[in-house]
Amino acid sequence: MSIKVMIVDDSAVMREVMQQLLAPQKDIEVIGAVVDPLLAKQRMARQWPDVVLLDVEMPRMDGLTFLRQIMATRPTPVVICSSLTEKGADITLQALAAGAVEVIAKPSMGLKDFLQSHSQTLATAIRQAALARPRVKAPVARTLPSESLASKQLLNQRTTEKIAVIGTSTGGTQALEQVLTLLPVTTAGLAIVQHMPEKFTRAFAERLNSHSQIEIKEAQDGDRLLPGRALIAPGGLHMQIVRSGAQYQVAIKDGPLVSRHRPSVDVLFRSAASQAGRNALGVIMTGMGDDGARGLKALHNSGGSTFAQDEQSCVVFGMPKEAIKLGAVDKTGDLNAIVAALTRWGH
């Protein structure tokens, strides 16, 4: 059976090019391409799609409002098409928090050429979304204690010999929010790869930081891994662990795609294996594909501890499943179990 797709975008060019690009895909069928959510509702009342490709900035009703309505009535995989702007990044993060499973970044100019050069990316995103089980989580509302900032600054003066590395993809933005906002400031230094387009990771880190006791930031080359700090790999660049004496820091580098991704979880995990070994905890979470499986196996073989998110709590059980098949995983559990494992690792 083909994957039935509904395109909702106020750009006629976007709708036309997307339909042209998806037409040759034998396993994907576009059942509608409409200008706004109100028309989409009418179409969807007659035939419900497997995946919705949704613009976030539209007249009459914005995509975010429409997404929330879908998730409240009939949770369905939604792929967000968002502009590469600061405003677009903020709205996209809200959409991911509201239940969207994937994001495709579109430039403000040269749209047709961009989409044609990324046709396989579009088709892959739809296939991945079709396998997802969207989960709607209540937004995290945490009032940080007044000493939080001081605690973050104090911990940044210390160092640690233990670190943790996390890799995730589809469904990971929600999962990371649930995990990171529960971690205490005594948590071991964290390095995280979340598959996300460039220019979105900084806004993602800032959003998480505002809700968390630990410091969360987009990583810069040379940043140190410290207790109470989480570094998120910038979109479009690889992140590696580098040891300097008793301290760990990250190197941010360009380079070819690894396991079809940049940043790649495999790159992060392999560097943790070579630089930290038994002093590292590796956690692989929800996501499509196998990025991170071989890297986690290398970390496991080097004496590091390894943990995988369980199938029941994953939006997509691809990455953890592949790691388990390789024999790379010591333990599995849900998001609460991951919080507990990371908290214990810091002591």
Q: Is 300 in the active site?
A: no
Question: Which single residue is written with the structure tokens 């003066």?
Answer: 157
Token code pair at residue 34: 């409409």
Taken in order 244, 248, 254, 257, is the CA torsion positive or negative?
A: positive
CB 2 within 8 A of CB 27: yes
Choose the catalytic residue: 151, 169, 302, 305: 169
CB 308 within 8 A of CB 151: no
C-alpha angle with apex 310: 304 to 313, nearest 5 degrees? 135
229, 331, 220, 233: which is closest to 291 by C-alpha? Answer: 233
Paired strand residues for 305? 281
Choose the catalytic residue: 50, 83, 195, 223: 195
Determine the Cα–Cα distance for residues 134 and 136; give it in Å rounded to an integer.
7
Choose the catalytic residue: 9, 55, 266, 291: 291
CB 178 within 8 A of CB 96: no
Q: Is 169 in the active site?
A: yes
Determine the Cα–Cα distance for residues 128 and 28; give it in Å rounded to an integer.
12
H and E: helices and strands count for the chain: 13, 14
Q: Is 195 in the active site?
A: yes
327, 335, 273: which is closest to 303 by C-alpha? Answer: 273
Token code pair at residue 55: 């613009």
Taken in order 221, 280, 193, 99, is the CA torsion positive or negative?
A: negative
Determine the Cα–Cα distance for residues 45 and 36; give it in Å rounded to an integer.
15
247-253 vs 238-244, strand pairing mode: antiparallel
Residues that are catalytic: 169, 195, 291
